[in-house]
Structure 1
Amino acid sequence: MTGKGKVLWPSGTTYEGDFSGGYLHGFGTLTSLDGSVYRGSWKLNLQHGFGEKQYQNSDVYEGTWKEGKQEGSGKYVWSNGNMYIGTWKAGIMCGRGVMKWSTGDLFDGFWLNGLRHGSGFYRFADGGYYYGIWTKGIKDGWGKFYPEGNNRPSLAKWNNSELLNEIVDGSVSVSSLKKAEFKVIKPSLKRSVSIIALNGFTKVRKPHKSVLVKKNQNPSHSVTDGTFEEVQNEVQQSDSQVYEREYMQGVLIKERIINHTGRSKSIKQRGKTKEARKKSLVSTYAGLKSYYLMLNLQLGIRYTVGKISPLPMREVRSSDYGAQARIQMYFPKRGSQKTPPHYSLNFYWTDYYPMVFRNLREMFKLDAADYMMSICGDDGLTELSSAGKSGSLFYLSHDDRFVIKTLKKSELKVLLKMLPSYYDNVKEHENTLLTKFFGVHQIAWKAGRKIRFVVMGNMFCTELRIHRRYDLKGSCQGRLTNKVDIRENTTFKDLDLPYVFHMDKLLRESLLEQITHDCMFLESQQIIDYSLLLGLHFRAPEHLKAFLETAESMHEPEHTFASDGAISQDEMLIPPKGLLLVTHEPNFVSTAPGPHIRGNTLKAFSVGEKEVDLLLPGTGRLRVQLGVNMPAQANHKIQRDGGDASEAELFEVYDVVLYLGIIDILQEYNLKKKVELTYKSLKFDPNSISVMEPTPYSKRFVNFLERVFVPT
């Protein structure tokens, strides 16, 4: 059958339209026996392209299809009056989209597998608004609630189009969908708000366009990134009252009222002084340099990996280290025989020890193409704010797998000096917790300074939300976080840790054994000032109010807990508490580990010393490896005022999943550190300060962690 025609099947189903080679192929209408009707494009008997389908229950979908399922941009109207317009994947709402309920509620934000997941805003029927983050359908993280009657942000900046207004009044048509081009533009911060691009607003390619997007972002608030920051800043131009809230897996754990007095501030800003305008220009120039650096980095990595990947695999030789092993290339703006033209500045590129890092990536089963796409793909890199004192720039790949950090010259020397021993150590010990290095590079501009950076594995690459982060050194002097510096993604320090972690006997033994070995290696390299980066994912969130009220009262005494009618019903859909270790079954593991881990699945004493998976009610089944998906119980001792000392001690216990690794391993114990140790020892207890000789530092570090991780 080829051409136009009509088919009537014995079941009563009919098709009228185009055929090709015996297939439904082209444009046609299919009327099924159950009464559903599809009118649109076909490809090899499957709906493919733009089409409209009316279902038996009177639901209607119009939009794009791929191989028989909704995929791309589309509009779905349910028979009960609910409506969704946005992106689809494999027949499920996934990506940016807007949902309007028949009750008048509306959500505009990101979706995953049919659930709200990521940044967005929720408009209640009574006129209230909530801007924040959702995880698998429930609120999870920081956000702001604007009650009915308060000034709220304009939605124009959020949507960058009139599409939302069409959705609100129900006038969305097929022509609107055809005009809408649902391309996501990545802002420069993790978990920040992307935007739907319409005609005339395509992917950011040119430097000045990218900078305009990035300059309005505030690195200290991941909830208010990108255009989302613009939306919330508009509220600060008028006196209003909003509620700043923090949710954890659907439970409201923290709330405080914010009274904005931004009008007077806005008036003052209009009359900027000459010094203020000059400072603004300096920051703009810094932003441009940051953009050029990111673009140069992507160009260089693409060139280096592409050049070395075709070479046959072989063992690392002594000739793969040293000055002769570097790849150097000049990237002129206009391009050359070996380099493409680009929008950045002319720059010189240096790739250190490419064969060594190629073998390291191979050890962690990183495919060269995937590696390049993660870092050099169209989605680009995300610029993060530095959480430490180094002032380094940090970039994050769009899939969260890799972190890129700028290095000091001294850190580069230490890394290159340590690399032969580091390579042998990683090759011998699959479960090492040391930072995973995948590449070291340098960029130099004409008449400009050199910038060096290293590509590392992201230890927090996981589908689970990391609720708390800790940087642990085992020292106490200066290891308390200032309350004014606390933000959503703040990394806390030793004295902020209010609990110990009870672990399975074998899991704890494996963890401490590897930590001891890694510390011995760092000691042999004369490395100090390293720390354990610890990420916690809490379960059983219905009990976390009391925990956070107790554990963080010293930081945020003004926080109060409250609830009102603006909290929707979906917040009660809390997954059951508890963690369950089960015998490892590879076919049922739902989440693969990140690029920072390899080796065998860990064994647990509680299941007969067998390899185990972690079963998370309401989430999935995860493979337990060293530093990844490690279950524990966080015990927090309750301090009672005026209690009888003879009474039994009380503890609050919380199920947690741990993610950890040893970071900052590029500080050598040199003359400068010796002078620092001598000076600080005169003022403080030598055992309390961070800087120490390598051997006592290693011993103190291990002893401290033995007290943090205790057996069950």
Structure 2
Amino acid sequence: MSSEIFLNGDVYFGNVKGMIPHGRGKYTWSDGTVYEGSWVEGKMTGVGRITWSSEASYEGDFSGGYLDGFGTLTNPDGSTYIGSWRLNIQHGFGRRQYSNSDVYDGSWKGGVHEGSGKYAWGNGDMYIGNWKAGSMCGRGVMKWLNGDLFDGYWSNGYRHGSGVYRFADGSYYFGMWTKGLKDGQGTFYPAGSTHPSSRRLGKKKVLVTPSSSFRSESLKDRTRSIGRSLSDKFSISGFFRDSGQISSKRTSLAEEWSIGDSAREFSAFDKTDTLSHTSDEGGSEVDDNSTVVCEREYVQGVLINERTKNNAGLLDKKEQPRKFQMKEVKKRSFADLFEGNKSYYLMLNLQLGIRYTVGKITPVPTREVRYSDFGERARIRMYFPKKGSQLTPSHSSIDFYWKDYCPMVFRNLREMFKLDAAEYMMSICGDDGLRELSSPGKSGSLFYLSHDDRFVIKTLRTSELKVLLKMLPSYYKHVEAHDNTLITKFYGLHEITLRGGKKVQFVVMGNMFYTELRIHRRYDLKGSYQGRSTNKDDIEEGTTLKDLDLAYDFHMDKSLRDALFKQISLDCKFLESQRIIDYSLLLGLHFRAPEHLKTLLEPPDAFHRPEKAPADDGTICHLDRSIPPKGLLLVTHEPNSVNTAPGPHSRGSTLRAFSVGDKEVDLLLPGTGRLRVQLGVNMPAQANHKVSQDVSGSTEVELFEVYDVVLYLGIIDILQEYNVRKKIEHAYKSVRHDPMSISVADPKFYSKRFFNFLEKAFPADTDT
């Protein structure tokens, strides 16, 4: 044992090795900070206790001069943290009790809540679920002291995605939220009624108590940097090397590492448009004894449509496949999503094949495509045994043969569409995997969506594969000549042959709805009428509607409309030249809530009188429903101000608007951001609701007549050739129905009818 008093006033008493602390010892700095515990070669290592001059203290494990391991931090304000540490930062599992009596139990990463955890407020409110970067993110349950409960998905501290809100009286609201506001379709069930809860949240039972366990999400490390580490403060090896005495630094852990308080860390709860400490739903919305349920549609918290129905009718609804309707499933790993069925092996094989062929073709020097690059014989074929080979890696799937059609052509197409090869592989072949979409129609094809929503993968029939290979040379020339084409973007064509000779063909396409904005309505428009409507009882969130369901016409800036129809005409002529029919315009609508109506987030007593139209409510009846909304604005294009990049479905130029002096424009969305306007992407329009001819006895109420909308559109399903089979189908259906109304028709007539239908849906304004 030795005792040392240094010139700067620091004092050490304990074991030493040579001239540095080693073993047990007590070090007192001149500012009053004291450490007592184990030392290894001049650094705090092992178990010890440190008390700062601020009266904050830590007792637990140290390593190399850092708080590292398990320990307890006590702050002067009475708040405490008990749990795991890494390099002075809370990391691992721990419990923190704040000075205001709030308590968090759960996972930490980089000093913030990340993973699964439970947060209990001092007033009795509680959240159990997933966290990311200090905010509620992923699946979670929030329960308020008054008995209300929300079970659903969160993002950045907001309710975001699908969820169910249970009121204390037993009534429920199932629906969608965006940034804490109701956004999209939902259904309210009064207390005592039966509701199809298992269908609303990924076919999983609704959590009604905050006691279930949650799966931690795979998250990126967000380690918080520290200005000066404790190893700098407490290491004395530098002293002996430089000046012969222990360096004294007055910076405490409490000063170097901002601990914060629960009010600041959960500031999102103090905002009026987020989930606060108190329930914001305002209690039950209908009388408990009512047997009527309300199907509603919201836009950024503003109610725009209501339909009352008998509860029994809703419970009898059959689930039908919807076009591009995503199954409500949690984002899981690739293996978790498909394991146990054939889709798992197909998708794993697809990932292996794409990773191999894209990696093989990318290093090849860029060149112009040749005639030999097209056709069925232009392919890469490879055998992937499970145990691996000299050319292929080992894998956990079954043995399969892989075929990549026209690799040089699709490599050039990806470059033409400004798609980076590494991003393409990571999006489809990354660890986050794929999500399954329900089949959109009669073809029976399987659809999958990449984890980042950028790409759609579709299985093809052999006839569709042959059509694509046949039209590929002309398709290549068309998209090369027309940057703004609305036709589906193809990125790869592949075939997998499984044991026993079963073949499955895939095509990789761009997702036309790749956007941060919620798509409130989806339409598949062909221009025909026979069988082109959707049963209203079958319409749910994400349902793709048809021609006869379109209840709006869209008014656009003159220059934007001219550019749109010029390109539609060119694309239709191309498809007509290839003898293609049965294609559609896939149209997505994002509604913007009128700025002057955002204070009316929800009529407070609308659910108490479901038999009456909400327009009869005193809150709404004084409004002029024909007032043009101001939910968006066209402004002159500024490349450095646009906050979102175009998706993989668009490579076109920025559009010009007549209303802004024929200049390139951006779309300014108040409260959301500034978006680049391209053909088929971020296109602003005014949607005028068309009054139904038969409104007598209707239980559906459209609250407004005019909406600001953002359009996303493109031409899809371009692989059906007008062959002998289709000619026979046309002749047969013409006997039973009006030949002008059926979908299957001669390519020239189909193209003309398609174009004329869209001209009516997007009428030209006579005053511009």
Which TM class, normalised by the smaller chain length?
0.7 to 0.9
Q: Could you tell me how far apart the structure 1 residues matched to 2:430 and 2:527 are?
A: 40
1:578 aligns to 2:631 (yes or no): yes
Alignment of 1:121-200 (within 5 A): 121-143=164-186, 145-150=188-193, 167=210, 181-183=215-217
- Distance in 1 of aligned mates of 2:292 and 2:384: 50
1:584 to 1:125, Cα distance in 2 relative to 1, 3 A: same
In the alignment, the residues of structure 2 paired with residue 666 and residue 626 of structure 1 have an alpha-carbon distance, to the nearest angstrom, of 22
Structure 2 CA distance for aligned equivalents of residues 384 and 153 of structure 1: 21
| Bigger helix fraction | 1
Which residue is equivalent to 1:631?
Answer: 684
The answer to whether 1:490 aligns with 2:543 is yes
Measure the CA separation in 2 of the matches of 1:158 and 1:694. 43
User: Contact 2:197/2:205 (CA < 8 Å) preserved in 1?
Assistant: no
1:308 aligns with 2:342: no
1:504, CA displacement in angstroms?
A: 0.9
d(CA) in 2 for partners of 1:96 and 1:673? 47
Give me the CA root mean square deviation.
4.1
Task: Describe the superposition over 1:496-536 as per-residue Cα deviations: whole angstroms up to 9, x where unpaired.
Answer: 32332100112112211221222222233332332211111
Please tell me whether residue 351 in structure 1 is matched to residue 404 in structure 2: yes
- Please state if 1:54 is matched with 2:97: yes
Q: Which has the larger radius of gyration?
A: 2
Amino acid at match of 2:216: F
Name 2:145's counterpart in structure 1: 102
CA contact (8 A) 1:74 1:86 kept: yes
* Letter aligned with residue 130 of structure 2: T
* Residue of structure 1 equivalent to 2:122: 79
Which residue number in structure 2 is paired with residue 360 of structure 1? 413
Q: 1:678 to 1:125 in 2, by over 3 A?
A: closer
Amino acid at match of 2:490: F
Matches within 5 A, 1:675-690: 675-677=728-730, 687-690=740-743
Q: Tell me the residue number matched to 1:530.
A: 583
Within the candidate set 61, 67, 74, 2:110 is matched to 67
Equivalent residue number for residue 758 of structure 2: 705
Deviation of 1:443 (Å)? 2.1
In the TM superposition, what whole-angstrom CA distance separates every residue of 1:573-613 from its partner, at most 9, and x where no partner exists?
A: xxx96222223334443433322112332222222333322
Q: Please give the alpha-carbon distance, in whole angstroms, between the structure 1 residues aligned to 2:563 and 2:148.
A: 51
Q: Deviations over 1:671-709 (max 9, x none)?
A: 444444556566666544434443443333333322322
> Contact (CA 8 Å) 2:153, 2:162: kept in 1 or not?
yes
Mapped pair 1:669 → 2:722: yes
| Partner-residue secondary structure (3-state), 1:533 | strand
- Residue 167 of structure 1 aligns to a residue whose secondary structure is coil
The 8 Å contact of residues 23 and 44 in structure 1, kept in 2 or not, is answered as yes
CA contact (8 A) 2:684 2:710 kept: yes
Cα gap change, 1:120/1:307 in structure 2, threshold over 3 Å: closer, same or farther? same
Gap change, CA 1:106 and 1:675, over 3 Å in 2: closer
**Which residue among 647, 650, 673 is the counterpart of 1:620?**
673
What is the rounded CA distance, in whole Å, between the counterparts of 1:670 and 1:455 in structure 2? 25
Instruction: Name the residue aligned to 1:438.
Output: 491
> 1:318 and 1:130, CA in 2 relative to 1: closer, same or farther beyond 3 A?
same
Structure 1 pair 452–140 and aligned structure 2 pair: CA distance change class (3 A):
same
Partner SS, residue 86 of structure 1: strand
Which position in structure 1 is the counterpart of 2:298? 248
Residues 682 and 373 (structure 1 numbering): CA distance in 2 closer, same or farther, change over 3 Å? same
Residue 571 of structure 2 aligns to which amino acid in structure 1? Answer: D
Provide Cα deviations, 1:455-511, integer angstroms capped at 9, x if missing partner.
Answer: 111111223222222222233344344556544433333233233210011211221
Structure 1 residues 479 and 100: CA distance shift in structure 2, 3 A: closer
How far has the Cα of 1:374 moved from its partner?
2.9
Aligned to 1:172: none
1:471 maps to 2:558? no
Change (3 A) 1:659 1:338: same
Task: Map Cα deviations across residues 301-359 of structure 1 (whole Å, 9 max, x no partner).
Answer: 33333433444444433332234431222334555444455555443221111222222
Aligned AA (2:473):
P
Matched, 1:411 2:464: yes
Which AA in structure 2 matches 1:615? Answer: L
Per the alignment, do residues 113 and 656 of structure 1 end up closer, same or farther by CA in structure 2, a change over 3 Å counting? same
- 1:114 deviation in Å? 0.8
Structure 1 segment 543-562 matched on structure 2, within 5 A: none
Question: 8 Å contact 1:2–1:18 — kept in the other structure?
Answer: no
Aligned counterparts of 1:163 and 1:142: Cα–Cα separation in 2: 18
SS in 2 for 1:444: strand
Matched with 2:134 is: 91
Q: Which amino acid aligns with 2:125?
A: N
Match of 2:284 in 1: none
How many matched pairs?
A: 595
In 1, the alpha carbon distance for the partners of 2:708 and 2:569 equals 26
| Whole-angstrom CA distance in 2 between matches of 1:681 and 1:693 | 12
8 Å contact 1:468–1:491 — kept in the other structure?
yes
Shift of 1:632: 0.6
8 Å contact from structure 2 (residues 388, 395) kept in 1: yes
Alpha-carbon distance between aligned partners in 2 of 1:314 and 1:33, rounded to the nearest angstrom: 69
User: What SS does the corresponding residue of 2:763 show, helix, strand or coil?
Assistant: strand
Structure 1 residues 352 and 537, CA, compared in 2 at 3 Å: closer, same or farther? same
Query: What is the CA–CA distance in structure 2 between the aligned matches of 1:167 and 1:524, rounded to whole Å?
Result: 61
| Cα displacement (A) at 1:543 | 12
Cα distance in 2, alignment partners of residues 536 and 5 from structure 1: 62
Distance in 1, Cα, partners of 2:216 & 2:397:
27
CA displacement at 1:119 relative to structure 2: 2.7
1:384 to 2:437 alignment: yes
SS of the residue aligned with 1:592? coil
Bigger shift: 516-525 or 36-45? 36-45
- Alpha carbons of 1:163 and 1:41: their partners in 2 closer, same or farther (altered >3 Å)? farther
CA contact (8 A) 1:144 1:242 kept: no
Aligned-partner residue type, residue 357 of structure 2: T
Distance in 1 (CA, whole Å) between partners of 2:641 and 2:100 is: 35
Report the Cα offset of residue 292 of structure 1.
Answer: 3.8
Q: Report the Cα distance in structure 2 between the residues aligned to 1:629 and 1:692, rounded to whole angstroms.
A: 32
CA distance in 1, matches of 2:107, 2:739: 67
How far apart are 1:641 and its partner, in Å? 8.8
Taking only the aligned residue pairs, the percentage that are identical comes to 70
CA contact (8 A) 1:627 1:658 kept: yes
- Aligned mate of 1:118, from 143, 154, 161: 161
CA 49–472 in structure 1, closer or farther in 2 if over 3 Å, else same:
same
Distance 1:163 1:410 in 2: 43
State which drifts further: 110-119 or 664-673: 664-673
Deviation at 1:22? 5.4
Change (3 A) 1:462 1:422: same
Distance change in 2, residues 1:19/1:461 (3 Å): same
Asked if the contact 1:145–1:242 (Cα under 8 Å) also holds between the matched residues in 2, the reply is no
SS in 2 for 1:259: helix
CA contact (8 A) 2:123 2:145 kept: yes
Q: Which runs of 5+ in 2 are unaligned?
A: 1-42, 219-289, 319-339, 598-609, 615-628, 696-703
Cα–Cα, structure 1 residues 355 and 152, in superposed 2: closer, same or farther, change >3 Å?
A: same
C-alpha distance in 2 between matches for 1:665 and 1:154: 38
Decide which of 380, 393, 396 is 2:446's aligned counterpart: 393
Deviates more, 1:2-11 or 1:341-350: 2-11
In the TM superposition, residue 19 of structure 1 has moved relative to its aligned partner by 5.1
Unaligned runs of 5+ in 1: 169-175, 185-239, 266-286, 545-558, 564-575, 643-650
3-state SS of paired residue (1:410): helix
Q: How far is 1:76 from its partner?
A: 1.8
C-alpha spacing 1:543/1:483, structure 2 compared with 1 (3 Å): farther
Q: Which moved more, 1:424-433 or 1:93-102?
A: 424-433
SS at match of 2:757: helix
